[in-house]
Amino acid sequence: MDQKQIFKQMLNFNKSSFNNAFSTLAMAQEQMETVGKSFFEQAAWLPAEGKKAVQDWLDACKKGREEYKKLIDEAYKKVEVFL
């Protein structure tokens, strides 16, 4: 088998493994976000500023996750150019 073909198969396997793991992680984070929002919305002891801080933190986590995925996808595209 050609080395280029082997590398392409390895890259495709790695990309698919990453996408599956990332999707699983994203679903888990979204589920925990839903549970957390429900908990904090019902928390009478948490002031509005605290609830806003939690929401801002959740939004920052989501944005960071999306940016990370975008960077990884761009990196895979750059590697695929060489194939």
Q: Is the pLDDT of residue 9 over 90?
A: yes
Q: What pLDDT sits at residue 11?
A: 95
Q: What pLDDT sits at residue 13?
A: 97
pLDDT, mean of residues 3-7: 91
CB 33 within 8 A of CB 19: no
Q: What pLDDT sits at residue 40?
A: 85
Q: Which residues of 23-55 are buried (b: 16+ CB within 10 A; e: fewer)?
A: eeeeeeeeeebeeeeeeeeeeeeeeeeeeeebe
What are 23-82's pLDDT values in tens digits? 999 999 999 999 988 988 888 898 989 889 989 999 999 999 999 999 999 999 999 998
Q: What residue spans define the domains of the chain? A: 47-83
Q: What is the DSSP string of 19-46?
A: HHHHHHHHHHHHHHHHHHHHHHHH-TTS
pLDDT, mean of residues 4-20: 95
Q: Is the pLDDT of residue 1 over 80?
A: no
Rounded alpha-carbon distances, angstroms, from residue 57 to 15, 43, 60, 72, 78: 29, 17, 5, 23, 32
